[in-house]
Homo-oligomer: A and B are copies of this chain.
């Protein structure tokens, strides 16, 4: 029997708190799960620093990847026998679902920003490079690895397959909303996925939703909106992200400073600092190693690096206020100046962070990031863009919401020795509203 058709002697099941069970019957899938590059995802948290806000959110990307696979498995088992569905694409869909996040590293968000990396690039590298995963995929079929890679990169020719993994209502989002809700324990993030799966229909170039399922989709979109603002953009999580980014930034600066000698040489970071990260370096970097460095760097001589690492390790985060630097340029400049005078380096200790999200978007051809809208399949067989049918979606459609916050170490402000200076800093900060404790 061809490798791609091999079935496990007995179905394997993973007990999953979100989908109850994840079912694996294909040998290819089982082999991919067992590959070191996939097992590595156990050592990378799905939500990075969010567990500093929601202590339950300690789940890994391994967890989520299995979930996305399982959702796609259920969707396409419903597709069997329907028009537009090519069952030859089954294994491709499953592999792409399982591997779509394979390139994530520890604390991806901050690492990508500071070191100008892109996890999608590494996903491609792992799938196409000299890896166990690649060997498995190539054994399926010549060119199969490339196809998997293309699906994840959204360049694959069959757009229906792409839309299962990447669209405004794909398996990826459906898994993470539910999973992150489960592990954080928040009451948002619930929607009737079973119903959505039942009303999904394959069309030529996308998955569409039978109109009877519109309300379940509305609920999904509202869940997404709430999860973004309540969990993903939580200001305390962002405080931890700010500190993390500044640690990476500082370490790089020190590395480039020929006068500075690390007590603990940043061996694992060198290629990141030098901008020549190769796959082997990248795969070695999991959260264990990063936290190892942060723990030991608490004892570095550089006061900033040591302080920031101590803050991150022991969760002594920055406080924050609402602050829009575009509108409050004068206050921003004055604070900057006062911090410098007080010897608190504003590059590390006075940080604006902005988050923004578009809860749902209709199609705007030609715009920067084209987002494929959700289509309803109407009784008469026509497709109708969701926001034209749903009043509730229409009301939030295309509306981008942005939130700006200023982060700073309130403990250092309180310890400023020059009392006039301190008073002025506090006056500006308080003038912007409540100082919030990132705790």
Q: Which of A43, A63, A188 has the most CB of B within 10 A?
A: A188
B190–A215 contact, CB under 8 A? no
Q: How far is the CA of A195 from the CA of B187 in the complex (A)?
A: 10
Give the contact stretch, choosing among A53-61, A347-355, A420-428.
Answer: A53-61
A34–B315 contact, CB under 8 A? yes
A12–B187 contact, CB under 8 A? no
Copies of this chain present: 4
A330 is an interface residue with CB less than 8 A from chain B: no
A21–B55 contact, CB under 8 A? no
Indicate with 1 or 0, residue by residue over A261-297, a CB within 8 angstroms of chain B CB atoms: 0000000000000000000000010111111100100
A130 is an interface residue with CB less than 8 A from chain B: no
Which residues of the partner chain B approach A292 to less than 8 Å between Cβ atoms?
288-289, 292
Q: How far is the CA of A194 from the CA of B315 in the complex (A)?
A: 27
Which residues of the partner chain B approach A34 to less than 8 Å between Cβ atoms?
314-316, 439
A9-57 contacts to B, CB under 8 A, are 12-18, 20-21, 34, 36, 39, 42-43, 51-52, 54-56
Q: How far is the CA of A288 from the CA of B185 in the complex (A)?
A: 25
Task: Name the interface size band of chain A.
Answer: 35 or more
Nearest B-chain residue to A16, judged by Cβ: B185
A401 is an interface residue with CB less than 8 A from chain B: yes
A91 is an interface residue with CB less than 8 A from chain B: no
Nearest B-chain residue to A179, judged by Cβ: B56
A190–B192 contact, CB under 8 A? no
A120 is an interface residue with CB less than 8 A from chain B: no
User: Nearest Cβ distance between residue A218 and chain B, in whole angstroms?
Assistant: 7
A7 is an interface residue with CB less than 8 A from chain B: no
A17–B289 contact, CB under 8 A? no
Q: How far is the CA of A359 from the CA of B226 in the complex (A)?
A: 18
B63–A15 contact, CB under 8 A? no
A219–B434 contact, CB under 8 A? no
Within 8 Å by CB of A39, from B42, B288, B289, B315, lies B315
Which residues of the partner chain B approach A186 to less than 8 Å between Cβ atoms?
15, 192
B392–A396 contact, CB under 8 A? yes
A182–B17 contact, CB under 8 A? yes
Given A63-B56, A288-B289, are A36 and B192 also a contact pair (CB < 8 Å)? no
Indicate with 1 or 0, residue by residue over A204-222, a CB within 8 angstroms of chain B CB atoms: 0000000000011011001
A39–B314 contact, CB under 8 A? yes
User: Nearest Cβ distance between residue A39 and chain B, in whole angstroms?
Assistant: 5
User: Nearest Cβ distance between residue A196 and chain B, in whole angstroms?
Assistant: 10
A56–B434 contact, CB under 8 A? no
A284–B295 contact, CB under 8 A? yes
Which residues of the partner chain B approach A20 to less than 8 Å between Cβ atoms?
185, 194
B55–A58 contact, CB under 8 A? no
A343 is an interface residue with CB less than 8 A from chain B: no
A341 is an interface residue with CB less than 8 A from chain B: no
Q: Which of A17, A51, A401 has the most CB of B within 10 A?
A: A17
Which residues of the partner chain B approach A143 to less than 8 Å between Cβ atoms?
none
A39-96 contacts to B, CB under 8 A, are 39, 42-43, 51-52, 54-56, 58-60, 62-63, 66
